[in-house]
Structure 1
Amino acid sequence: MSLPRYEEYKDSGVAWLGSVPARWNVSRLKEVIRSIESGVSVNATDAPAAEGAIGVLKTSCVYDGTFRFAENKAVVEEDLARVSCPVTEGTLIVSRMNTPALVGAAGLVTQSHPNIYLPDRLWQVSLKNSSPGFVHYWTLSGEYRAQVEVACSGTSSSMQNLGQDQFKNFQIALPAEEEQQIIATFLDRETAKIDALIVEQEKLLVLLAEKRQATISHAVTRGLNPNASMKDSGISWLGDVPTHWDIKRLKFIATVQTGIAKGKDTSGKETITVPYLRVANVQDGHLALDDVATIDIEPEQLERYLLGKGDVLMNEGGDFDKLGRGALWDGQIENCIHQNHVFAVRPHGVSSRWLNQVAGSQYAQFYFMGRSKQSTNLASISSTNIMELPVVMPPADEQEEILQFVEQERAMVDVLMQTADHAIDLLKERRAAVISAAVTGKIDVRNAA
């Protein structure tokens, strides 16, 4: 969409803002703020408040720039009398204390929630003589974020605080209130269109990932010959496998090496510093080695915990999607060891590539979930249960044929997924650009709205 500029501009008097439409005024934010309120710190459960019950907002309720009412927790009974500042329609909820990327994040409240209250880390900003929708879109602009970054302070790089005085002194370009509403209405429509396209691309990514997993798992458990003679595997959740395939427990074709536990006292002892692989480094089918930690160990421990080329790494647990998640270690880092939450499975009767592929299949993931200890959103599996995994074993030449097919399929789907990811990035850039241009007067949307 190509939109015109305003007929006449003037110097805003603010170097980073540049020119603004002639009839717009550059004001301090405090000139349109009626009040800023905040709640108090209260104890709450992990569960959201039931309908009609007293709840307190999570700070995550505005993380993505929209207000999400569902992001709340039930207040414990002994703190019910202490809650303050109920959520009110037409206000902005602002995160005043958070990580650098999230401090200052704001969402627009479109409906009052009298039983849901603010915690002390959120502000509720009530406005006067201005459109809440316009001001909210302004908080999504680069011009707003730049002021947040300059104004914030904190005792650490991981947690920043936005002061009220600094917030009130932010500079904002404002048209007349009626025009603000016109711009907000235009952006409601345009961002909804873009958001719908983003959702479609995200759905495509999910479908592609499911297709890739299903195709790979079928190849790993059924082979590539649709006419092959089949037999009962003897495992109900695995079903039939080709007649000429074997099935062996992992413990008969590999050994498992457990990792080192962090926190051992080494004071007064000779130590060496070595790279240290964690669960975060072991992704689904690949390794993330951009951020590898180090640990001090005694020299004689190096051999005990050292990773070897060809080891298949499997995660002990964490979130459900991390359970048993594996990747192949190819000696990428010299003298690298692993933590106790990452198992190093060392094959001796099967190829590392085939075992790694089996570990990432749907049937292996099903096995891991069935043998794991589970709690809310978390699961873990023992090395003993890992070693009981039934491993399907085609002949070596057929393994290689299947692996080549899997690599080709993965590469093809990965290209499609990269294309979808790129489309999402472009759409998000477009969304941000349209918002920024509209709220700073770089484009005239009055006729378009």
Structure 2
Amino acid sequence: MKYVAYQKYKPAKAAWLNVLPEIWGQIRGRFVMMVNPPSRQVRQLDGVNEVSFVPMDAIGEYGGMNLERTRLLEEISAGYTAFEDGDVVVAKITPCFENGKGALAQNLKNGVGFGTTELHVLRTGNRLDKHFLFYLTISHTFRMLGEFEMYGAGGQKRVPPEFAKDFLIPLPPIDEQQTIARFLDAKTAQIDELIAKKRQLIDKLKEKRSALIARTVTRGLPPEAAKAAGLEPNPEIKNSGHPWLQVRENGRGRPIYPEEKRCEGSGQIQGIASAQHRAEDGSDGRTFPRTCAAPARWAWKGNGGHGQPNSGGALQAGIRALHSGAGVRRHPFSGGLQRNR
């Protein structure tokens, strides 16, 4: 992704930043923000006032803060880290720091929050925009350099406060900082929306995969695949006699695999297929009036008729035989379905 460059650049003071725009400054954090300052807002509250309680698991990676939990101030005034609206909080312990845990505190109960002691609190002055600082703290560069400064051993390594105080901040004019922050707000929101859509698609594909497997191992190949393999594409359906193998015929005689099915007489709910299948006849898939069924050429065998899956090797052998069109000498389920010769 390329954007129009600034007209003029100048050498940067920091080794990790070669150049920066000519009108930008570069200054150590201690001169434009406070690190782990006391909360001014806490002094204005009584012990019976509620405040936001924000443990580490309530702080998101690369932004976001879960504010569902609150506590009375008198319950958590000691042993926790205090912060207030507008502060930027950064996890200081490994692996939370490397994972990008941090957030801009907003909409806190009574303007105050208390969190784990494993947080650094950064409070901006009038030369540094809080939104710009937040994006700086979740940048790869900030996290990578902070990781190099960690002290301690094993899982107890921490970023010292001096790292934030001495960090050389690229400092645009305040109005440009705000413009940059608004730009990142819009672009990251678009990216987050795309990520959410991709995750929904992945979930649907997983559901489709599960439904395909369930349908194929209990009813045989889909018509197109069966025809290509030299098998009957639309086999006659017969009663399997087993409650876990249940289908429902729609008006066209095509099997419908509900997402949830009630086994006759048992009252148990069994699920082997997706909502995609139940939608074909407009039903909710929660009732099952017909008997259990299987292809007419398949036989049920073994294990007292309970149909427990056999080992993976036998299952794979059975599936390969079905794909090849040959008879199955060792059936794919111990007590499962076996093709008749």
TM-score norm. by structure 1 comes to 0.50
Task: Indicate the residue corresponding to 1:353 in structure 2.
Answer: 316
Return 5+ residue gaps in structure 1 as ranges: 40-51, 256-310, 313-327, 329-346, 358-388, 398-449
1:14–1:57 distance in 2 versus 1, CA, 3 Å? same
User: Alignment partner of 2:15: what SS?
Assistant: coil
Instruction: Tell me how far apart the structure 2 counterparts of residues 78 and 353 of structure 1 sit (CA, whole Å).
Output: 63
Counterpart of 2:84, as a letter, is: T
2:239 pairs, out of 211, 214, 231, with 231
1:143–1:22 distance in 2 versus 1, CA, 3 Å? same
Q: % of aligned pairs identical?
A: 22
Task: Indicate the residue corresponding to 1:112 in structure 2.
Answer: 108
Task: Indicate the residue corresponding to 1:395 in structure 2.
Answer: 339
Instruction: Tell me how far apart the structure 1 counterparts of residues 34 and 118 of structure 2 sit (CA, whole Å).
Output: 19
Please report how far the alpha carbon of residue 112 of structure 1 lies from its aligned counterpart in structure 2 after TM superposition. Answer: 2.2
Instruction: Tell me how far apart the structure 2 counterparts of residues 203 and 22 of structure 1 sit (CA, whole Å).
Output: 44
- Larger Rg over CA atoms: 2
Count residues with an aligned counterpart: 261
Please report how far the alpha carbon of residue 212 of structure 1 lies from its aligned counterpart in structure 2 after TM superposition. Answer: 0.9
Instruction: Tell me how far apart the structure 1 counterparts of residues 38 and 318 of structure 2 sit (CA, whole Å).
Output: 55
User: Alignment partner of 2:184: what SS?
Assistant: helix
Task: Indicate the residue corresponding to 1:58 in structure 2.
Answer: 55
CA contact (8 A) 1:104 1:162 kept: no
User: Alignment partner of 2:157: what SS?
Assistant: strand
Residue deviations 1:29-51, cap 9 Å, x none? 12221341589xxxxxxxxxxxx
Task: Indicate the residue corresponding to 2:13 in structure 1.
Answer: 13
Quick check: 1:171 aligned with 2:179?
Answer: no
Residue deviations 1:201-256, cap 9 Å, x none? 1211111111111111111122225443221433123743334331644999999x
Question: Over aligned residues, Cα RMSD in angstroms?
Answer: 3.8
User: Alignment partner of 2:153: what SS?
Assistant: strand
1:100–1:106 distance in 2 versus 1, CA, 3 Å? closer
Instruction: Tell me how far apart the structure 1 counterparts of residues 86 and 38 of structure 2 sit (CA, whole Å).
Output: 16
CA contact (8 A) 1:93 1:107 kept: yes
Counterpart of 1:120, as a letter, is: T
1:38-187 matches, cutoff 5 A: 56-70=53-67, 79-80=75-76, 82=78, 85-99=81-95, 102=98, 105-114=101-110, 116-129=113-126, 130-156=128-154, 158-187=155-184
1:80–1:135 distance in 2 versus 1, CA, 3 Å? closer
Instruction: Tell me how far apart the structure 2 counterparts of residues 111 and 188 of structure 1 sit (CA, whole Å).
Output: 17
CA contact (8 A) 1:38 1:122 kept: no
Residue deviations 1:112-151, cap 9 Å, x none? 2347421211233211121111111112222212211211
User: Alignment partner of 1:93: what SS?
Assistant: strand
Residue deviations 1:351-390, cap 9 Å, x none? 1426999xxxxxxxxxxxxxxxxxxxxxxxxxxxxxxx98
Instruction: Tell me how far apart the structure 2 counterparts of residues 253 and 4 of structure 1 sit (CA, whole Å).
Output: 66
User: Alignment partner of 1:172: what SS?
Assistant: strand
Counterpart of 2:36, as a letter, is: I
Instruction: Tell me how far apart the structure 2 counterparts of residues 99 and 356 of structure 1 sit (CA, whole Å).
Output: 45
Task: Indicate the residue corresponding to 1:222 in structure 2.
Answer: 219
User: Alignment partner of 1:394: what SS?
Assistant: strand
Instruction: Kindly indicate whether structure 1 or structure 2 has the higher relative contact order, using CA contacts under 8 Å at least 6 residues apart.
Output: 1
1:146–1:61 distance in 2 versus 1, CA, 3 Å? same
Counterpart of 2:64, as a letter, is: F
Counterpart of 2:300, as a letter, is: D
